[in-house]
Amino acid sequence: MKPLRKLAFVINEEKAGAAALARELMATARRGGLGVKSTSRFPLPAGYLRGCDACCVIGGDGTLLGVARESVRSQVPIIGINRGSLGFLTTFSAEEARAHFAELLQGEYRIAHRSMLDCSTGPGSHDLALNDVLIKDAVNSRLVRLEVFADDELVTEYYCDGLIFSTPTGSTAYNLSAGGPLIHPGAEVIAMTPICPHTLSNRSIIFRQGTRLRVCNRSEGSQLLVAMDGQRNLKVGVGSPIEISISKRTLPLVQRPDYSHFAVVRTKLKWSGAAVESPKNRA
Residue 123 inside a domain? The answer is yes
Name the DSSP class of 3. P
d(CA 255, CA 252): 10
> What pLDDT is recorded for position 123?
86
In this structure, the answer to whether residues 227 and 268 fall within a common structural domain is no
Buried/exposed code over 101-122 (b: 16+ C-beta within 10 A; e: otherwise)? beebbeeebeebebbbbbbbbe
In this structure, the answer to whether residues 182 and 74 fall within a common structural domain is no
> What pLDDT is recorded for position 140?
77
> What pLDDT is recorded for position 237?
79
154 CB neighbour count, 10 Å cutoff: 10
7 CB neighbour count, 10 Å cutoff: 23
> What pLDDT is recorded for position 238?
77
Q: Are 184 and 202 in contact (CB under 8 A)?
A: no
For the chain, the domain total comes to 2
Nearest to 89 by CA among 115, 63, 123: 63
pLDDT band at 283 (very low <50, low <70, confident <90, very high): very low
d(CA 14, CA 219): 40
> What pLDDT is recorded for position 45?
86
In this structure, the answer to whether residues 130 and 189 fall within a common structural domain is yes
pLDDT band at 220 (very low <50, low <70, confident <90, very high): confident
Q: Which of 53, 61, 132, 151 is catalytic?
A: 61
- What's the whole-number mean pLDDT along residues 226-240? 91
- What's the whole-number mean pLDDT along residues 61-65? 95
Q: Is the pLDDT of residue 274 over 80?
A: no
Residue 104 inside a domain? The answer is yes
95 burial type by CB count under 10 A (0-12 exposed, 13-18 middle, 19+ buried): exposed
- CATH number, domain of 24, equals 3.40.50.10330
In this structure, the answer to whether residues 121 and 220 fall within a common structural domain is yes
CA atoms within 13 A on the CB side of 24: 15
d(CA 42, CA 37): 15
> What pLDDT is recorded for position 190?
98
Residue 29 inside a domain? The answer is yes
Residue 216 inside a domain? The answer is yes
In this structure, the answer to whether residues 229 and 123 fall within a common structural domain is yes
- CATH number, domain of 152, equals 2.60.200.30
Q: Is the pLDDT of residue 74 over 50?
A: yes
Residue 1 inside a domain? The answer is no
Q: Is the pLDDT of residue 1 over 50?
A: yes
Residue 198 inside a domain? The answer is yes
In this structure, the answer to whether residues 92 and 124 fall within a common structural domain is no
In this structure, the answer to whether residues 168 and 67 fall within a common structural domain is no
> What pLDDT is recorded for position 280?
53
Q: Is the pLDDT of residue 272 over 50?
A: yes
More confident residue, 195 or 239: 195
For 78, the domain range is 6-109+256-282
For the question of residue 229 being annotated catalytic, the response is: no
| Segment 2-35, tens digit of pLDDT | 999 999 999 999 999 999 999 999 999 999 999 9
> At 64, which amino acid appears?
L
- What's the whole-number mean pLDDT along residues 76-96? 91
In this structure, the answer to whether residues 146 and 166 fall within a common structural domain is yes
Alpha carbon 202 to its chain centroid, in Å, reads 25
Residue 130 inside a domain? The answer is yes
Q: Are 111 and 77 in contact (CB under 8 A)?
A: yes
pLDDT band at 102 (very low <50, low <70, confident <90, very high): very high
In this structure, the answer to whether residues 136 and 241 fall within a common structural domain is yes
Residue 85 inside a domain? The answer is yes
> What pLDDT is recorded for position 203?
95
How far are the Cα atoms of 211, 218, 247 from residue 154, in angstroms, in the given order? 13, 14, 22
In this structure, the answer to whether residues 218 and 121 fall within a common structural domain is yes
- What's the whole-number mean pLDDT along residues 214-240? 91
Mean residue pLDDT across the chain? 93
Alpha carbon 4 to its chain centroid, in Å, reads 24
In this structure, the answer to whether residues 73 and 195 fall within a common structural domain is no
CA angle, residues 262, 263, 265, in degrees to nearest 5: 60
pLDDT band at 124 (very low <50, low <70, confident <90, very high): confident
In this structure, the answer to whether residues 277 and 209 fall within a common structural domain is no
Q: Are 105 and 32 in contact (CB under 8 A)?
A: yes
- What's the whole-number mean pLDDT along residues 203-216? 97
Q: Is the pLDDT of residue 103 over 80?
A: yes
